Amino acid sequence: MTADRTTGVLTAVDDVADDDGIARGLVGGDEQCLAAAYRRWGPLVQALAARALGDPREAEDVTQQVFVAVWRGRANFRPERGSLSAWLVGITRRKIADALAARTRRTRLAASLGATLEHEGRRDEEPERVLERLVVGEELARLPRVQRDVLELAYFADLTQTQIADRTGMPLGTVKSHARRGLLRMRHSLERAGVHAGR
């Protein structure tokens, strides 16, 4: 624990500085305990990520993702199953695995893209833009058929949602719902792949 240098009084965060106190406060939704957990275990999380990924900036991103996941999933923490630090390390390993998988996927797509551009003689096109288009197309293909059809009509046929409803016979509200769910699902997948979604 640390004390205020002028008063010698322990700060509020220091009152919950033991691991059990931080864990209880975190599960209870105390943001101060999240901050305490970040100060205590953030360096460990970042060190594990940096060692596995070999990229300090990517390790910083993973560290942020870990503590966002900790906050969002705090209700799932069970002290009887292990310590808070062990739970954090488990989340860190999963986020590192996600980052490595996304990196591998980008590398394979880039290699495939390079071969395609070379074969087609399209060396003047920016590889990054083509790569993003390939990734978006791949994610679109993974959507349930109805969601995919709605988004393809919206983005490739440039139809409004009302026009899509008229063409497909679906109620307008259903079209909006499919579009929203499809976009949310794609955005989540693209963010994990390191690509920013956008029209």
- The whole-chain average pLDDT of the chain stands at 76
Is the domain spanning 13-103 CATH 1.10.1740.10? The answer is yes
Q: What is the pTM of this model?
A: 0.51
When pLDDT is cut at 50, 70 and 90, the band that residue 46 belongs to is very high
| 186 within 8 A of 152, measured Cβ to Cβ | no
Residue 143 is predicted with a pLDDT of 79
Give residue 198's pLDDT band: very low, low, confident or very high (50, 70, 90).
very low
Backbone torsion region of residue 107, taken as left when φ is above 0, otherwise alpha when ψ lies between -120 and 50, otherwise beta: alpha
Q: For residues 48 and 114, which has the higher predicted lDDT (pLDDT)?
A: 48
End-to-end CA distance of the chain: 50
Domain 126-193 fold is Arc Repressor Mutant, subunit A (1.10.10)
Location of each CATH 1.10.1740.10 domain in the chain: 13-103
* pLDDT, tens digit (0-9, with 9 covering 90-100), for 58-79: 889 899 989 999 999 998 888 7
Instruction: Give the least confident one: 23-27, 67-71, 84-88, 187-191.
Output: 187-191
Which band of pLDDT confidence, cut at 50, 70 and 90, is reported for residue 127? low
For residues 23 and 29, give the distance between their C-alpha atoms in angstroms, rounded to a whole number.
Answer: 10
Question: What residues does CATH 1.10.10.10 cover in the chain?
Answer: 126-193
pLDDT over 90 (residue 91): yes
Q: C-alpha distances in angstroms, 175 versus 30, 50, 154?
A: 40, 44, 10
| CA 107/CA 140 separation, integer angstroms | 20
